[in-house]
Amino acid sequence: MDIDDSNEELSRRVQVRFITKLEAPLKVPSASIAVPADLTRLGLSTIINSLLKSKNSDWEAEPFDFLIDGELVRMSLEQFLLAKGISVEKILEIEYIKAVVPRKEEEPSPHDDWVSAVDGSFPGFVLTGSYDGYGRIWKAPGLCTYILDGHSDVITSVSVINQKGEENIDVATASKDRTIRLWKVDGECHGNHPGKIRAFKILQGHNASVQSVAAETSCNMICSSSWDSSIKLWRTNVMDMDGEQVSVKKRRVNIKDEETQTEEEAVSTLLGHTQCVSSVVWPQYETIYSSSWDHSVRRWDVETGKDSLNIFSGKVLNCIDVGGEDSALIAAGGSDPVLRIWDPRKPGSSAPIFQFSFHTSWISSCKWHDKSWFHLLSASYDGKVMLWDLRTAWPLSVMDSHEDKVLCADWWRGDSVISGGADSKLCISSGISM
Amino acid sequence: MGAVAKNKNENNRENDSDRRRVIGKDNVAEAQSDEEVYPSGVTSHACSDSESDSDYLDSSEDGEFEGNQSPVDSGAEDSDSFDDEDDDKTGNDSGLSGDEQGNSDENKSSEQPQGGEESDSSEDEVAPRNTIGNVPLEWYKDEELIGYDITGKKLKKKERQDKLDAFLASADDSKNWRKIYDEYNDEEVELTKHEARLLKRLLKGKAPHVDFDPYAPYVDWFKWDDAIHPLSNAPEPKRRFTPSKWEAKKVAKLVRAIREGRIKFDKPKEESQVYDLWAGESSSPTKKSGHLAYIPAPKPKLPGLEESYNPPPEYIPTQEEINSYQLMNEEDCPKFIPRRYTSMRNIPAYDNAVKDTFERCLDLYLCPRVRKKRLNIDPESLKPKLPSRRDLKPYPITCYLEYKGHKGAVTSISTDTSGQWIASGSSDGTVRVWEVATCRCLRIWEIGEVVKHVAWNPLPELPILAIVVGADVLVLNTGLGSEEDQKQVEELLQVGAATSLDDKTLSVSWIQDDRYRYGAIKLQHFKTVSSVEWHRKGDYLSTVMPAGESKAIMIHQLSKRLTQRVPFKLHGLPVTSVFHPTRSIFFIATKKNVRVYDLLKQKLVKKLETGLREVSSIAIHPAGDNVIVGSKEGKLSWFDMDLSSQPFRTLTCHPKDITNVAFHRSYPLFASCSDDCTAYVFHGMVYSDLNQNPLIVPLEILRGHSSSNGRGILDCKFHPRQPWLFTAGADSLIKLYCH
């Protein structure tokens, strides 16, 4: 009897050794310990915290996430081992990382109307576009420094072009008034009142509302997609703007006191989509990725203007982003609650390699983390922003700060998630440790 | 002794042959008289018959001769044989047949005492002495015997004579040259003189009998001379050498019968004949098929083993079971409780006899006399084979987006051509334009009156809306297009004072209405307008005034600001009117029928008889040859215009009024929405092959709207490019169902 009991005890325990790539204060001794098999992530996290506390008495508890064989543990240890068919005989090596969850919810920044676009690629500020036709620059949560005034209709997309200098930042906004406007933003803040900025360049040529704008890495070009099912490439030429101004025919647009505004034609047009091109990204110099309402994801070769890849998804697509491993994975979401990720390097198959379906409505936005290969976020019309890790099918965290549809979301400063929605708020969830 | 007998025999034979010849002659003479009757083949037969007859005579005479024999005869014979002595010596060993003959004769003579009367018609019947059978004699070369006789005694071989003795004996015996040793029967045989002569003749190649003359003169027995007429001089009739027609027919008939299987060569196996004991009282209705359907009376239950006076013990219930029967219901407990009696004498009278008889009578009297014909068909097999819904994707399934904002029931919706915007009219007196992708309400017009119908102009460069408010039709500029478009629209929507004639003939006035943002034109009608419909080119629009009588349907031209009534006589109360999607054909739906007019030729093309109680809506397939009509009784009729004026298929799906029906522009989908708060989505594939009927498959029931004031979904429209369905509900919501 005694022997049996002890056996049972043993069988319910697992020999584990915790390893990590984290820095010194977060390291625990690498000796193997026996832990109960029915522990979940929370239990394992408590063990790590208690281990750390035993080393450092004023340690504050912190959530951790656990990886076994490169996969995140999302159920009890026993179930996980059973599901993966991992033997309990050997000492189990569990890697722990900091849990990717937002720790702080910033005060929402109010807008006058729905927030339709957000860009956090410049760490100094957050750029938003709104349904009232204004773009806004937020230096900090709740602190609006500039208002980009000029569009006569809804701003659908915003993009920071120039990330090099601190002083003069160029941004582009696309609008339903069929134009794209380029703005110069002073990186520094001056005064409390939000200053109004006028666009220095208006790009006209689309026949229908522009849905998306994306800047090239070297910042000389931008591309835009529109409801007229075309993608247009534009030259920004921020540097020799004056020279351009001479050559380009000057025309007054709407506002009387506009002198520095110039207009420009598109450099080239990429035709191929049959319906509204909802989103474009330009991750490398020669390739543009686009998603469209004609259910396709395409990769365009900028030099030739031909699409070199065409993935048929079967659903209307609203957003696309490229990132992950080697910046090659395509994530896209659309008219159903499934976030799909394709690997175009995989030959002979256009089936998505990952499908995350935890949302309950259309997905409006998806963005890869620019440092991590595994993390991406998605925003949906169900009012939730979710953080995903490719190593598990469950969301890492669900941010439910919006009361209405979330229309846009982005990463900011590498540790915050910014999102705007139909409740006219810009929400910032910060303190995400990668 | 033996030799004498042989001679005698020989004599007989001689005489026989003579006699035979004579008799044969007689026979021929007889035959001659018969010849006229028999054909030539038959006469020869008769001859042979007569020969056999003569054989009989022969044998009988044989017996006579045996009895009284004349020695004279034999002597004569002897002398005769001497002449041929020399010759016969050479033919000694070759006369095997004669040898045998003699042999048999000898046997016969030995048998004579007992078998006097026995016929010896065939000499071969005499068995050889040897009984070893027909085997090579070498096998018995060293044996002493040559077999066994019938009593089992050995037939010994004769002692061999000394060669010298034999030679001496032969030298002594003058007849030695006529003696032959028969190896088979192990005896010496002496040939008769006659036999020797026969052999000699055979060797010479002559006929064996001396008397036989092969070259005898031919006797022509037919009397040729006296006959006046030749026997027949006629040429052979044709039928002798042509194949018979009737025989050919007969053969053909047989061949046909064989081919058709009427004649079978391998007979079917004889099935054992079983006597059907119950044939008389069988219940098969075929027996009395002549009468009205005969239904036999129900049979009483046959007695079983438990009703025996001495049933097996397992049938007899225990006391507990009998007790339990009393607790049971009267209907449940068994009618008969088996009991055991030692003998038949002890069985008491059956106390339920009268009751049972009565019940039996009741059964006979009350048994059903009507035969129910029941088809044994699986109802599933009667369903048409439809393709799986999975294969017909995409089609709208789930609702993800809701367009909220209206305060009253949304009466009508319309999408613009690109599918970017959707307009809606509501009973709260507003018209709204929504962005499809985000549910954002872009424009609101306060009309102040119930908006009955909205219709978006089909041209993408003319973003204008036609809306029906009471007796007015408003053409609204939405202000959504580009600047160039806007300019064009503004020009279009300018109505000068000159054009707005208040003529009595026109009865519709065009008025500039500047109350609304972006500008509008009001078309004032004299009666309440129910619906408005754009022509595909975006210049014409038709309005329906149900109470307008002869001017119930008007066609307005926007660019010229002209109004005209349709040049047809209208029948009944018009409900809606639709333009053909490609040709200049116009559909007018009245409450009962749909009339199809050609606008160019100005005449009625077709009348579709719906058979419905009240038509509520109509939609035309984008190819233009198929029409669906929704009715207020919840029925949906699909018309194939090329096929007939009757509905190709009528779908009864909604329990309440169908409020609207819609076709998808590019996907093979159509939908109907109803006041029961559901919308049905169907797959409606129309094939370009005219021989193939349209394929209609119900796909999905879309729910989600709630009922308000007894009304459910008031309008449904497909997204122009995606397989999505918009539904407008009386609960002031617009829902978008995505695939």
Higher pLDDT, B700 or B52: B700
Tell me if chain A has a CB within 8 Å of the CB of B739.
yes
**Cα radius of gyration (chain A):** 25
Nearest CA in chain B to A176: B480
Q: Residue B276, Cβ neighbours under 10 Å: how many?
A: 7
- Across the interface, whether the CB atoms of A208 and B420 are under 8 A apart is answered yes
Nearest CA in chain B to A407: B438
Higher pLDDT, B531 or B371: B531
Tell me if chain A has a CB within 8 Å of the CB of B486.
no
Cross-strand pairs, A395: none
Q: How far is CA B339 from CA B313, B326, B369, B602, in A?
A: 9, 16, 37, 97
B593-597 own/partner pairs: CB under 8 Å, 24+ apart: B594/B618, B594/B627, B594/B629, B594/B639, B595/B568, B595/B571, B596/B641, B597/B566, B597/B568
Peptide bond connecting B394 to the previous residue in cis, omega within 30 degrees of 0:
yes
Residue type, B127: A
Residue for token digits 């002209």? Answer: B562
Rounded distance between C-alpha atoms, residue A140 and residue A135, angstroms:
15
Minimal Cβ distance to B400: which of A131, A275, A362: A362
- Across the interface, whether the CB atoms of A336 and B439 are under 8 A apart is answered no
**Could you report how far apart the first and last alpha carbons of chain B are, in Å?**
134
Question: In terms of C-beta density within 10 A (0-12 exposed, 13-18 middle, 19 or more buried), how is residue B430 classed?
Answer: buried
pLDDT in tens, chain A (434 residues): 344 444 444 457 777 888 777 777 777 777 778 887 777 888 888 888 888 878 777 777 777 888 877 777 777 777 777 777 777 777 777 888 777 777 777 778 888 888 888 888 877 788 888 888 888 888 877 778 888 888 888 888 888 887 566 567 788 888 888 888 888 877 665 555 677 777 788 888 888 888 888 888 777 788 888 888 888 888 876 544 443 443 334 444 444 344 456 677 778 888 888 888 888 988 888 888 888 888 888 888 888 888 888 888 888 888 888 887 777 888 888 888 888 888 888 777 778 888 888 888 888 888 888 888 888 888 888 888 888 888 887 888 888 888 888 888 888 887 888 888 888 888 888 877 76
Going by C-alpha positions, the residue among B443, B515, B507 that lies closest to residue B479 is: B443
Question: Per-residue pLDDT averaged across B301-329, rounded?
Answer: 86
What integer pLDDT is reported at residue B60 of this predicted model? 40
Q: Is residue B725 predicted with pLDDT exceeding 70?
A: yes
pLDDT digits (tens, 9 = 90+) for B616-661: 888 888 888 888 988 888 888 888 888 888 888 888 888 888 888 9
Return the percentage of chain B with pLDDT > 90, whole number: 3
Minimal Cβ distance to B400: which of A275, A293, A381: A381
Rounded distance between C-alpha atoms, residue B131 and residue B123, angstroms:
18
Global ipTM: 0.81
Three-state secondary structure string covering B61-94 = HHHHHHHCCCHHHHHHHHHHHHCCHHHHHHCCCC
Minimal Cβ distance to A208: which of B418, B721, B739: B418
B256 pLDDT band, cuts 50/70/90, is very high
β strands within A77-188, DSSP E: 92-98, 104-105, 109-110, 115-119, 126-130, 135-140, 143-148, 155-160, 168-175, 179-186
Residue type, B186: D
Rounded distance between C-alpha atoms, residue B508 and residue B263, angstroms:
91
Nearest CA in chain B to A318: B437
B293 pLDDT band, cuts 50/70/90, is low
Angle (nearest 5°) at CA B54 between B53 and B56: 70
Q: Residue A360, Cβ neighbours under 10 Å: how many?
A: 13
- Across the interface, whether the CB atoms of A207 and B482 are under 8 A apart is answered yes
3-class SS shares of chain A: helix, strand, coil, % to 5: 10, 45, 45
**Cα radius of gyration (chain B):** 63
Minimal Cβ distance to B722: which of A208, A293, A318: A293
Q: Residue A241, Cβ neighbours under 10 Å: how many?
A: 16
What are the φ/ψ torsions at residue B143 (nearest 5 degrees)? -85, 160
What integer pLDDT is reported at residue B57 of this predicted model? 38
Q: Is residue B562 predicted with pLDDT exceeding 60?
A: yes
Rounded distance between C-alpha atoms, residue B574 and residue B554, angstroms:
12
Question: In terms of C-beta density within 10 A (0-12 exposed, 13-18 middle, 19 or more buried), how is residue B446 classed?
Answer: exposed
Residue A106, Ramachandran bin (φ over 0: left; ψ between -120 and 50: alpha; else beta): beta
Rounded distance between C-alpha atoms, residue B398 and residue B704, angstroms:
10
What integer pLDDT is reported at residue A237 of this predicted model? 67
Residue type, A354: F
Residue for token digits 């065409």? Answer: A310
What integer pLDDT is reported at residue B58 of this predicted model? 40
- Across the interface, whether the CB atoms of B721 and A275 are under 8 A apart is answered yes
Going by C-alpha positions, the residue among B573, B672, B682 that lies closest to residue B629 is: B672
Q: Is residue B251 predicted with pLDDT exceeding 90?
A: yes
**Contacting residues for B589 by C-beta, under 8 A, at least 6 apart:** B574, B575, B576, B577, B578, B615, B617, B618, B629
| Averaged confidence pLDDT in chain B | 75
B6 pLDDT band, cuts 50/70/90, is very low
Residue for token digits 């219709």? Answer: B455
Going by C-alpha positions, the residue among B695, B707, B696 that lies closest to residue B732 is: B707
A to B CB pairs, distance under 8 Å: 48
Residue type, B354: V
Q: How far is CA B299 from CA B250, B306, B336, B362, in A?
A: 56, 19, 18, 13
pLDDT digits (tens, 9 = 90+) for A381-394: 888 888 888 888 78
- Across the interface, whether the CB atoms of A178 and B482 are under 8 A apart is answered yes
pLDDT digits (tens, 9 = 90+) for B573-598: 888 888 888 888 888 888 888 888 88
pLDDT digits (tens, 9 = 90+) for B533-544: 888 888 888 888
CA distance A227 to chain B (A): 8
What integer pLDDT is reported at residue A243 of this predicted model? 39
The two tokens of residue A336 are: 């159903």
Chain B interface, best mutation among A179, A209, A423, by max B CB count within 10 A: A209
DSSP-assigned states of every residue in B482-504:
-HHHHHHHHHHT---TTT----T
Q: Is residue B255 predicted with pLDDT exceeding 90?
A: yes
Rounded distance between C-alpha atoms, residue B159 and residue A358, angstroms:
129
pLDDT digits (tens, 9 = 90+) for B19-35: 444 444 444 444 444 44
Rounded distance between C-alpha atoms, residue A65 and residue A20, angstroms:
11
Residues of chain B with C-beta less than 8 angstroms from the C-beta of A207: 482
B260 pLDDT band, cuts 50/70/90, is very high
DSSP-assigned states of every residue in B536-573:
TTSSEEEEE-TT-GGGSEEEEETTTTEEEE-SS---S-
Going by C-alpha positions, the residue among B125, B22, B12, B109 that lies closest to residue B60 is: B12
What integer pLDDT is reported at residue A192 of this predicted model? 59
Chain B interface, best mutation among A111, A293, A295, by max B CB count within 10 A: A293
Higher pLDDT, A339 or B120: A339
Rounded distance between C-alpha atoms, residue A235 and residue A247, angstroms:
14
| B410-415 vs B421-426, strand pairing mode | antiparallel
Going by C-alpha positions, the residue among B718, B680, B630 that lies closest to residue B638 is: B630
CA distance B694 to chain A (A): 25
Residues of chain A with C-beta less than 8 angstroms from the C-beta of B724: 335
Range scoring the smallest mean pLDDT among A237-241, B337-341, B414-418 = A237-241
- Across the interface, whether the CB atoms of A315 and B739 are under 8 A apart is answered yes
What integer pLDDT is reported at residue B189 of this predicted model? 83
What integer pLDDT is reported at residue A81 of this predicted model? 79
Rounded distance between C-alpha atoms, residue A410 and residue A127, angstroms:
10
Decide: A170 and A161 in contact? Cβ < 8 Å: yes
Cα torsion for B580, B581, B584, B585, to the nearest 10°? -10
pLDDT digits (tens, 9 = 90+) for B30-87: 444 444 434 443 333 433 343 444 344 344 444 443 444 444 444 444 444 444 444 4
pLDDT digits (tens, 9 = 90+) for A252-296: 444 434 445 667 777 888 888 888 888 898 888 888 888 888 888
Residue for token digits 């020989």? Answer: B10
- Across the interface, whether the CB atoms of B418 and A227 are under 8 A apart is answered yes
Helix and strand numbers (H, E) in chain B are 13, 33
Q: Is residue B5 predicted with pLDDT exceeding 50?
A: no
Decide: A154 and A143 in contact? Cβ < 8 Å: no
The two tokens of residue B42 are: 């038959």
| A201-204 vs B410-415, strand pairing mode | unpaired
Rounded distance between C-alpha atoms, residue A317 and residue B561, angstroms:
42
